[in-house]
Amino acid sequence: MPVSVYIPSPFRRITANRENVTVEGSTVGEVLDAVERLHPGFANLVFDADHRVPTHINVYLNNTEIHDLDGIATKVSDGDQVAVIPALAGGSGGSNV
């Protein structure tokens, strides 16, 4: 079943600057693995050494974070959208005066 995967700007160098990639899979994990097969190196950005999504990467299925569902085992359906969003650090660290 085709699923659209949103690729964030910092990861687009892996996908030839494509914002969305359509792949097949029945779970979020299979979908992410399918992106890796099409665009080698993608998995290194999304998974840790144990093939888990680290805390600084958020993955959403249709606007719901997968940690609130079944993680990468979450089932997907035709037309679903998976979005990969890296956490951003920032702020001045100083006090507001």
26-41 pLDDT per residue, tens: 999 999 999 999 999 9
**Alpha carbon distance 27, 33 (integer Å):** 10
* pLDDT in the model for residue 97: 47
> What is 2-86's CATH superfamily?
Beta-grasp domain (3.10.20.30)
37-89 pLDDT per residue, tens: 999 999 999 999 999 999 999 999 999 999 999 999 999 999 999 999 998 75
Structural domain boundaries in the chain: 2-86
Parallel/antiparallel/unpaired status of strands 2-6 and 20-24: antiparallel
Q: Give the predicted TM-score (pTM) of the model.
A: 0.87
* pLDDT in the model for residue 87: 85
- From 27, 26, 24, select the one nearest 74 (Cα to Cα): 27
Hey, what amino acid is at 23?
A: V
Cβ within 8 Å of residue 64, ≥6 positions away: none
CA dist 93 to 56, 80, 89, 90, 96, Å? 19, 38, 11, 8, 9
